[in-house]
């Protein structure tokens, strides 16, 4: 029997309406996500967890603005509004998400000089989060991804999961996208090509 885990990506206050980097409709997924969590044996959460003044913040690169791009040591980096700062209200898991059954809460993006979209690797594509090893140690072979945002942290996590040998699907109905300059279609196409199973539909 294939062991399966649900990975809930970054359902935090700053990514929901009213937050510093709000994803449109980000909180709409929570009721169905709660129901899915309740019927899933193994649940893992990720949490964006940036130090103040993180290198991915536009405020760290004046006169750059949010959503501009810079060339970091590891390649192109989108600059974001300050968000999910360690210990802040914005970094907290959304209060309506019932995540008490989570077996692991994996924090990412806490290294000052490297952003982290994927639950498996930092954006330098070399620094591991340890999630792949955790899943293998638990004999989990298949994962379902949900959360925020479809075209960034969820998509990068899915691509890395497939590359690491996990059966991978995304519940699109349990995600919402930023869609920055066509990023949604681009990442959906990349995921299909990589063998990620896309289930359901975005609104």
How many Cβ atoms from other residues are within 10 Å of residue 64's Cβ? 14
Per annotation, catalytic residue among 108, 115, 151, 160: 108
Going by C-beta distance under 8 Å and a sequence separation of 6 or more, which residues neighbour residue 35?
none
170 - beta bridge partners? 145, 198
Element (H, E) at 170: strand 167-176
Residue 14 known to be catalytic: no
Strands 69-72 and 197-199: unpaired
Residue 10 known to be catalytic: yes
Task: Map residue 71 onto helix, strand or coil.
Answer: strand
Per annotation, catalytic residue among 27, 82, 151, 153: 153
Dihedral angle over CA of 187, 146, 27, 202, nearest 10: 50
Rounded to 10 deg, the angle between the 155-163 and 183-194 helix axes is 20
Label residue 88 left, alpha or beta by phi (over 0 means left) and psi (-120 to 50 means alpha): beta
Residue 179 known to be catalytic: no
Per annotation, catalytic residue among 10, 14, 27, 82: 10
Residue 167 dihedral angles phi and psi, to the nearest 5°: -65, 125
Q: Which residues are catalytic?
A: 10, 108, 153
């Amino acid at each position: 029997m294939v062991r399966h885990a649900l990975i809930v990506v970054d359902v935090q206050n700053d990514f929901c309406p009213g937050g510093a980097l709000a994803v449109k409709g980000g909180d709409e997924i929570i009721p169905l996500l709660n129901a899915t969590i309740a019927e899933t044996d193994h649940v893992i959460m990720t949490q964006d967890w940036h130090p103040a003044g993180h290198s991915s913040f536009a405020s760290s690169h004046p006169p750059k603005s949010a959503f501009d791009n810079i060339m970091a040591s590891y390649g192109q980096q989108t600059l974001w509004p300050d968000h999910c700062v360690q210990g802040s209200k914005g970094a907290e898991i959304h209060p309506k998400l019932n995540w008490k059954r989570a077996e692991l809460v994996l924090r990412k993006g806490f290294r000052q000089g490297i952003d982290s979209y994927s639950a498996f690797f930092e954006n330098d594509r070399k620094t591991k989060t340890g999630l792949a090893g955790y899943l293998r140690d638990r004999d989990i072979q298949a994962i379902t991804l949900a959360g925020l945002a479809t075209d960034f942290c969820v998509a990068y996590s899915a691509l890395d999961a497939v590359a690491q040998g996990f059966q991978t699907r995304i519940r699109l109905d349990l995600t919402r996208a930023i869609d920055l300059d066509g990023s949604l279609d681009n990442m959906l196409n990349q995921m299909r090509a990589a063998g990620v199973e896309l289930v359901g539909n975005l609104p």
